[in-house]
Chains A and B, each alone.
Chain A
Amino acid sequence: METHMFLTVAQSGIFLSFLSATVPLLFLRQPYLLVRISFLLLGLSGIAAAWAGGMILLTNQAEQMVLPIGLPWLHVALRFDPLSGFFFFIVGFVTFTAACYGPAYLREHIGGPHPIGTLTFFTGLFVGGMLLVLLAADAFSFMIAWELMSVASYFLVAYQHDKAGNRSAAFIYLLMAVIGGAFILLAYGVLAGFGDSFSFAAMAAAHLSPTWATIAFLLAFIGFGMKAGIVPLHVWLPQAHPVAPSHISALMSGVMLKVAIYGFIRFVYSLLGVIHWQWGVLVLLIGAASALLGVLYALMQHDLKRLLAYHSVENIGIIYIGLGLSMIFHATGHMEVAALALIAALYHCLNHALFKSLLFFGAGAVLQQSRQHDMEKMGGLIRRMPVTAACFLVGCISISALPPFNGFASEWLTYQAALQGPLLRSGILGAIIPIAAAMLALTGALATACFVKVYGVIFLGLPRSSQVIEAQEASFGIQFAQGLLALCCLIFGIFPTWVVSTINVIAVNLLHTGLARVAGDGWLWLTPIGKQTASYGALSILFGLGASWLIVYFLLHPPRRDNQIRIAPAWDCGFGPLTPRMQYTASAFVMPIRRIFSFVWFIFEKVEPAHQGKGPRFFLQINDWVWVFIYLPIGKLILKLAKRAALIQGGNLRVYLSYSFFTLLFLLWVIV
């Protein structure tokens, strides 16, 4: 008798999230109670999901089950293996922190123009849908869960629908989700056609000709890429993420994009099985382009949440770089390096979920307190919100891939995989991999620049508007969620060996090869290839930093009382007091970068000279090149075609009836 212990817990996690969607609707009249119950259930669902996922990963089991529901000839098949478990853990953990964060964050929405019940209902469905995607073991239930996730998140994006901008963002999101869903459906269709069944097991067993396999791969790449937000399919992301409430943004950016990555990994590694190196090159190049363009676009944004959304594009790009490397090495038979690159990509998924949720939570706290979306009106928040500022700093360091935090560990592994490029002995690949590594290096450096801007403009300096002066520290739930994530960023950064040896199980399952010696030299050292080749001891580094800090502190700190620190006004060069307007603004800060990389953006810049008592004015508009040159023309073309097609709308009932008549005739002719 098979046991289904972890699968049962995982199912109960899904069940709890659906409960958190429905049960609170009984308490629509008592919004405080509604929020409490809903987030309590959501938090429990998160704990259950994280526990089940973590356990199945640690014990390296696979459990499956067929539920007696669904179509008569196709029951819903579920399968819970380490790959699903890993993503289950990510979704569950971030959901748990969002459940801690949500009640405090929503307090001010209660009694507002938008009913809270709508939000909690769709949040529960959204989380349940994501978890179900990870369990699905046949294309049919996968697609249902996938669409549940997409549609529920559409309603979350459209939650504050009184603003026209929000409605159009939600519409674009829905449109791209539907198109992406169609691509995924077609990709499964190709596999189902060869496997004669919708179940993943049959699809994996199917033998495809290289042409059909490539077609299926391209369809899946576009479909999942649209949800993951790779360039040039990323345009919905910076529009939809800033619009949703912040804990939803964290879930969408930190977790939903990872579900798309899961779908891609599942499709390529376990369903297609045979991987061609050309696919890897495509994934690698698109990943590198996403990483670089994502960070460049992010640099120019002044809306904090939009900036973070562009950084999601960047990080998804980094994950795709890892996947692309893994696919190239897999196709050329270097399985151990393929495992290393896959582990780097998965590790980055986990890290990105942690620090991006942390940053979105911080952004939410800042927005709630300062009531400003625009970075140019913030400043000096470190004095007013010290806990949020400290956690946000951890997030900034992690996302900038600086040691010893978690973002660095996964990028380090990606670099190590890229450095194995000379193994390939092929001219083209040998030239592409270093270029991808160079793009990754440039991305990392620009991300650091961007987060210096973010942190410096928002938290440091002088406050730039009156609302910011009145900002206060956010309430306990918000601080707790951020603190927990910040702690995890540190822990997953200084114990990379433990994480890597855990994820190694997934690589073994998918590639039948893992890293031979992850912790061969003790748990202190991360030595993916060999100690002679590369090693990283994060904990020892942290220890070294602490020790040298303490030594310097005790050597330099004055023993006598007469040498105390004197607090004085900053030197203003004798020109009167310093004002906040004298500080560098966010636009000014990135102006040199804007000038150097000016070909990347579609920039509109105008200076209006002073006249008639008005001061000079400066206009600056920076648009996404992809949006202006690809999406707008497509939109225009579709409108034009629609106008042409509208000719058949005569408005006369007899005309419509004759249409039906001729259609019927045509169909009869076709069939008979």
Chain B
Amino acid sequence: MTDWIFAIVQTLCVVLFAPFMAGWIKWLKCRLQNRQGAAPWQPYRDLLRLSRKQVVLAETASPLFRAAPYIVFSVTVVAASIVPIFSVQMPTAALADVIVLVGFLALTRFFLSLAGMDIGTAFGGMGSSREVTISSLAEPALLMAFFTLAMNASSTNLSTVVSHLAQSQFILYPSLIFSSMGFILVALAETGRIPIDNPATHLELTMIHEAMILEYSGRHLALMEWAAMLKLTLYTVLIANFIIPWGVAMTLAPQALAIGVLSITGKLLVLGCLLAVAETVQAKMRLFRAPHFLGLAFILSLLGMMSHIVLEVR
């Protein structure tokens, strides 16, 4: 029972932390670019304001348009609930493994892109088309990277994978290096960051995620934005717990848990810094360069898997 309560609390924590993560990256970026920048907790204010505002719906909106934000948000929350964040001892990880996690992310994207096409404006279709193109290249790379980790731990259960990675002796396996690199590239593409998409832009030639949610307003927009922030946090947590898993609690003992909470918070903040730096020093790619980027991610992930099977299986 304690396990389940802990899993729910942990999910709530990450859901509530997500806006701060987004605000933190934004604030750092502003600082790096010599701008004043809004405080890191600005996204909380934005979400609160949006949730109080009146919703304006287009005349052509269908019921799917209204249901999509709820679906996208709740699926992302359920996805967050199966990822080990502070501790690997969580019963929810058994509900859904890493393949289901990828399935959840695909499900949110499915509804997000459909919502983009619902109103019948050019922007929505443009965003959806770009999103499905990019994700159809990114998703296999993501799955391959996950498979490599899963084969290493001989399990697709996220808790088992993370605890295996955290407990095993630190050896730089080639498979882990390749698949981590592939995974980081995919994470950048899937969370709509530079060099694939620019979260700050509303220019029709470049936007992807923003184009799909252009017609949303009020609480619907708040949910969509929050889901995007949660997805960003989720990917960062996955990077943290897969690549630098040390510190994650193995049990629910208070001391271990405290270390787990502190270490993951620290890792997220540091990874946020790295992302802000990376976004400051490079520019967005042309859309048709994106396949090269994602092709690289796919090849790296596949290389990781091959090198695991060829070199590391005894």
Chain B residues with Cβ below 8 Å from A567 are 56-59
Distance in Å from the Cβ of B1 to the closest Cβ of chain A? 16
Interface of A is mostly: helix
Decide: A445 and B135 in contact? CB cutoff 8 A.
yes
Name the one of A383, A541, A568, A584 contacting B129, with C-beta atoms under 8 angstroms: A584
The chain B residue sitting closest to A386, CB to CB, is: B63
Q: Which of B112-120, B235-243, B253-261 contacts the other chain?
A: B112-120
Decide: B100 and A412 in contact? CB cutoff 8 A.
yes
Name the one of B70, B94, B96, B126 contacting A552, with C-beta atoms under 8 angstroms: B70
Q: Which of A195-203, A435-443, A633-641 contacts the other chain?
A: A435-443
Instruction: Give the one of A534, A537, A595 with max B CB within 10 A.
Output: A534
Give complex CA distance A200, B74 in Å: 53
Distance in Å from the Cβ of A397 to the closest Cβ of chain B? 7
Decide: A403 and B103 in contact? CB cutoff 8 A.
yes
Interface membership of A449, Cβ < 8 A: yes
Distance in Å from the Cβ of A440 to the closest Cβ of chain B? 9
Binding site for A on B (CB under 8 A): 51-52, 54-60, 62-64, 70-71, 73-75, 77-78, 81, 94-97, 99-100, 103-104, 106-107, 109-110, 113-114, 116-122, 124-126, 128-130, 132-133, 135-140, 143-144, 147, 150-151, 154-157, 160, 215, 219, 222-223, 287-288, 291, 298, 302, 305-306, 308-310, 313
Interface membership of A408, Cβ < 8 A: yes
Decide: B120 and A445 in contact? CB cutoff 8 A.
no
A534-B156, A589-B128 in contact; A525/B94 too (CB < 8 A)? yes
- Interface 1/0 per residue, A389-432 and B, CB below 8 Å: 00001000100111100001000100110010110010100110
Give complex CA distance A269, B144 in Å: 31
Known: A445-B138, A568-B57, A584-B129. 16 other contacts (CB 8 A): A379-B120, A403-B96, A434-B144, A434-B302, A434-B306, A437-B147, A438-B298, A448-B132, A452-B114, A532-B160, A548-B74, A568-B58, A570-B58, A570-B60, A578-B120, A588-B125
Give complex CA distance A422, B135 in Å: 28
Name the one of B97, B120, B155 contacting A462, with C-beta atoms under 8 angstroms: B120
Chain B residues with Cβ below 8 Å from A453 are 132
Decide: B132 and A545 in contact? CB cutoff 8 A.
no
Decide: B129 and A590 in contact? CB cutoff 8 A.
yes
Decide: A570 and B94 in contact? CB cutoff 8 A.
no
Distance in Å from the Cβ of A100 to the closest Cβ of chain B? 26
Name the one of A442, A462, A590 contacting B60, with C-beta atoms under 8 angstroms: A462
Distance in Å from the Cβ of B304 to the closest Cβ of chain A? 10
A536-B96, A552-B223 in contact; A544/B78 too (CB < 8 A)? yes
Q: Which of A457-515 contact B (CB under 8 A)?
A: 457, 459-462
Chain A residues with Cβ below 8 Å from B51 are 556
Distance in Å from the Cβ of B97 to the closest Cβ of chain A? 5
Binding site for B on A (CB under 8 A): 379-380, 382-383, 386, 393, 397, 400-403, 408, 412, 415-416, 419, 421-422, 425, 427, 430-431, 434-435, 437-438, 441-442, 444-446, 448-449, 451-453, 455-457, 459-462, 525, 531-537, 540-541, 544-545, 548-549, 552-553, 556-557, 563-572, 578, 580, 582-584, 588-593, 595-596
Name the one of A402, A427, A535, A569 contacting B59, with C-beta atoms under 8 angstroms: A569
Give complex CA distance A533, B158 in Å: 10
Distance in Å from the Cβ of B94 to the closest Cβ of chain A? 5
A380-B120, A446-B136 in contact; A419/B54 too (CB < 8 A)? no
A402-B103, A460-B64 in contact; A442/B136 too (CB < 8 A)? yes
Name the one of A400, A452, A563, A570 contacting B215, with C-beta atoms under 8 angstroms: A570
Name the one of B120, B287, B291, B302 contacting A461, with C-beta atoms under 8 angstroms: B120
A-B contact pairs, 21 of them (CB 8 A): A382-B62, A397-B110, A400-B106, A403-B107, A408-B103, A415-B99, A416-B156, A425-B313, A434-B302, A435-B302, A441-B139, A441-B140, A457-B117, A459-B62, A460-B62, A534-B156, A556-B223, A563-B52, A572-B121, A589-B125, A595-B288
Distance in Å from the Cβ of A408 to the closest Cβ of chain B? 6
Chain A residues with Cβ below 8 Å from B97 are 534-536
Decide: A531 and B94 in contact? CB cutoff 8 A.
yes
Give complex CA distance A185, B210 in Å: 59
Chain B residues with Cβ below 8 Å from A580 are 120
Chain B residues with Cβ below 8 Å from A568 are 56-59
Distance in Å from the Cβ of A599 to the closest Cβ of chain B? 13
Chain B residues with Cβ below 8 Å from A592 are 129-130, 133, 287-288
Distance in Å from the Cβ of A296 to the closest Cβ of chain B? 10
Decide: A540 and B117 in contact? CB cutoff 8 A.
no
Distance in Å from the Cβ of A557 to the closest Cβ of chain B? 8
Chain B residues with Cβ below 8 Å from A457 are 117
The chain B residue sitting closest to A569, CB to CB, is: B59
Decide: A422 and B120 in contact? CB cutoff 8 A.
no
The chain A residue sitting closest to B295, CB to CB, is: A596
Chain A residues with Cβ below 8 Å from B157 are 532-535
Instruction: Give the one of B110, B118, B139, B302 with max A CB within 10 A.
Output: B110
Decide: B103 and A438 in contact? CB cutoff 8 A.
no
Give complex CA distance A382, B51 in Å: 27
The chain B residue sitting closest to A591, CB to CB, is: B129
Give complex CA distance A397, B103 in Å: 11
Chain B residues with Cβ below 8 Å from A552 are 70, 73-74, 77, 223
Chain A residues with Cβ below 8 Å from B135 are 445, 448-449
Decide: A584 and B125 in contact? CB cutoff 8 A.
yes
Give complex CA distance A449, B139 in Å: 11
Distance in Å from the Cβ of A650 to the closest Cβ of chain B? 61
A434-B309, A456-B114 in contact; A545/B120 too (CB < 8 A)? no
Name the one of B60, B99, B110 contacting A448, with C-beta atoms under 8 angstroms: B110
Decide: A422 and B151 in contact? CB cutoff 8 A.
yes
Decide: B62 and A383 in contact? CB cutoff 8 A.
yes
The 5 A-B pairs at the shortest CB distance, nearest first, are namely A584-B125, A456-B117, A441-B140, A449-B132, A570-B58
Give complex CA distance A556, B222 in Å: 10
Distance in Å from the Cβ of A588 to the closest Cβ of chain B? 7
